[in-house]
């Protein structure tokens, strides 16, 4: 019995947590700021083809602009029915680069009324490097779908 107690004490001592180790944090943690440097001006873009229709859905680009490192476009589209329709796939093509990572922000949502289809407007945001050549940039909506 004494051997069992000694063995149990040795086992518990070996499995006990060790002394806490000091955590070393970096001296500077970079964080995002709302500041936009003057070297990143806000620029409005000319829209070559503002209205497009595909599969009975009318898509319209209200405006496009570059703000800091973000390329933004306000895109509105008609809703085929009362489902929760949204942009599921989009890309920005510029200078041989295809950027498929983007964010969306709901701007407005109008339900169908008086025989008119509903309308949803989103802002698409693509993050590009500051030296990106956006002279002939193209935003393509690949899919609009409902879950």
pTM of the model: 0.68
Q: Mind listing the domains of the chain with CATH numbers?
A: 43-145 (2.60.40)
d(CA 102, CA 131): 18
* b/e burial code for range 112-145 (CB count within 10 A of at least 16 → b): eeeeebbbbbbbbbbebeeebebeebebebeebe
Residue 82 vs residue 5, higher pLDDT: 82
- Are the beta carbons of 100 and 91 closer than 8 angstroms? yes
What percent of the chain is predicted at pLDDT more than 70?
73
Tokens 């500077």 -> residue: 28
């Amino acid at each position: 019995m004494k051997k069992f107690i000694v063995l149990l004490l040795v086992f518990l001592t070996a499995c006990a947590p060790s002394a806490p180790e000091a955590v070393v944090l970096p001296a500077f943690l970079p964080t995002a700021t709302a500041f936009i440097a003057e070297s990143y001006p806000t620029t409005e873009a000319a829209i070559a083809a503002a209205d497009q229709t595909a599969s009975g859905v009318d898509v319209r680009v209200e405006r496009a602009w570059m703000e800091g490192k973000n390329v933004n476009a306000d895109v509105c589209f008609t809703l085929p029915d009362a489902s929760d329709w949204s942009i599921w796939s989009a890309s920005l093509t510029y200078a041989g680069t295809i950027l498929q990572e983007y964010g969306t922000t709901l701007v407005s949502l109008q339900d169908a009324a008086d025989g008119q289809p509903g309308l949803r407007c989103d802002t698409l945001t693509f993050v590009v490097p500051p030296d990106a050549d956006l002279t002939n940039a193209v935003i393509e909506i690949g899919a609009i779908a409902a879950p």
